[in-house]
Structure 1
Amino acid sequence: MSSSGARQSMCPRCRGPVLRQLVGRRAALDVTADARYLSAAEAKALRRENRLDWCLRQTRDGVDLRWADCHARGATCPHPHVIDHECTAPAVPARAAAPSRNRTTQPVPPGQLTL
């Protein structure tokens, strides 16, 4: 099973439509998947080592992402599938460090202590 279902949102970088959900009961994965529905065969063709596909089930509360274990059974899955989102937007540049807010001390002659 999974959490309370998938939420439709936008990728903060590329602004593409995505589905977000915690999938799993114990060690849940925070999944962000493309919102484009695929057949099981299309999703399986796009799957790679670090890009999983997910089976979509319609529940009374909305769509729910589930592990795509249907590939292991060998049967054709009748449910739509989605694939993990790979953002194509350019990397966001790091922000410049804010200026230090430390007080500046007045220079003193060598050997004199400052208070």
Structure 2
Amino acid sequence: MTRPPGSNGGARRERCRCGRTVLRQLVGNRAALDVTADADPLSAAAAAELREPNRLDWCVRQRKGGPDLAWVDRRNHPADCDRPHVIDHKCTAPAPAAHAHGRGQQGRRPRNTSVPEGQLTLG
């Protein structure tokens, strides 16, 4: 998570591995989304044009602690909103190199476990 649940610290500015400045925030109270959005402000109309099924646009409200991302709900969000908007970030950096057996375990044999592959265990 980008911030503890229940805190309303708003969005943090971070640098993506592709070099762009992005806004990161956990948006929502119950089923929150970990949002990474381009920090470049857009008009509501420009952000709506860039929207795709898996790329959302966000309304940026200014709070005491800085920017705060809010859902752009078609039913409750005015089409002529004058606040800045941002769009989900599409990273252009190459994917990080995967190791043969996970995190730096090159040359090691995989561990045998008593649970099926993909199931989490407490340890």
8 A contact 1:3–1:23 mirrored in 2: no
Q: Does 1:3 align with 2:8?
A: yes
1:1-115 superposed matches below 5 A: 3-11=8-16, 13-69=17-73, 71-72=74-75, 73-96=77-100, 97-100=105-108
Which sections of structure 1, spanning at least 5 residues, go unmatched? 102-115
How many Å separate the matches in 2 of 1:100 and 1:75?
56
8 A contact 1:3–1:25 mirrored in 2: no
Q: Percent identity?
A: 61
Which sections of structure 2, spanning at least 5 residues, go unmatched? 1-6, 110-123
3-state secondary structure, aligned to 1:42: helix
CA RMSD after TM alignment: 1.9
- Superposed displacement of residue 100, structure 1: 2.7
TM-score by length of 1: 0.77
If you compute each CA radius of gyration, which structure gives the higher value, 1 or 2?
A: 1
TM-score by length of 2: 0.72
Change (3 A) 1:79 1:6: same
> Which residue of structure 2 lines up, in the alignment, with residue 110 of structure 1?
none
Q: Cα deviations across residues 70-105 of structure 1 (Å, max 9, x unaligned)?
A: x4355400100000000111222213442238xxxx
- The amino acid of 1:7's aligned partner reads R
